[in-house]
Amino acid sequence: LANRLIAHWVTGWGARYNPTRQEALALVKMADDLEAVVREIEREEGRPAKTVATAARRHPLARPFKEVAELLRKKNDTPYLILFGTGWGMTRELIEQCNYVLEPIEGNGYNHLSVRTAAAIILDRLLRGEVS
Ligand code: SAM
């Protein structure tokens, strides 16, 4: 299904309908599992990636935004892979395979955001480095 969706926007009717989306989706690569993604990043970057899991649920090992933002800012060329789930979120096994778990974005009670909303907030907090 994912390959069909990508083909629609990259080479199919969607490419003519929305060339900007074509450009973005042409960057998407499919992989069978997390190990395959980490191997591919190592091939491209010349060093293994550190993985950061995200989830709406609290995790006992979760690290604050400030700490993860500082890791990302360190000039040691380590690539970081930030993982986002779909539907019910990432499985516990997948989360525990990651090097770090990021604290959730807290809401006023219900905090289960759409993945695009969570990704936008998380990238802004981590890359601006202005969280306290
Ligand atoms: N019940 C799922 C959970 O606990 O993660 C929510 C799944 S949500 C539809 C899809 C993805 O968006 C999640 O796997 C996570 O990557 C991200 N996400 C959603 N809400 C979030 C939050 N409050 N904090 C951090 N990430 C969140």
Could you read off the pLDDT of 79-128 as tens digits, one per residue? 999 999 999 999 999 999 999 999 999 988 899 999 999 999 999 999 98
Give the H/E segment covering residue 81. Answer: strand 80-83
For ligand 1, whether the C-beta of 91 sits within 6 Å is: no
Q: Which atom of ligand 1 is nearest to the CA of 107?
A: 23
**Do 82 and 115 form a contact (C-beta atoms < 8 A)?**
no
For 24-56, the pLDDT digits (tens) are 999 999 999 999 999 999 999 999 999 999 999
Return the exposure string of 12-50: e unless at least 16 CB atoms fall within 10 Å of the residue's CB, then b: eebbeeeeeebeebeeeeeeeebeebbeebeeeeeeebb
Q: What is the DSSP letter of 102?
A: B
Q: Which atom of ligand 1 is nearest to the CA of 86?
A: 10
Residues facing 81 on adjacent strands: 51
pLDDT classification of 129: cutoffs 50, 70, 90: low
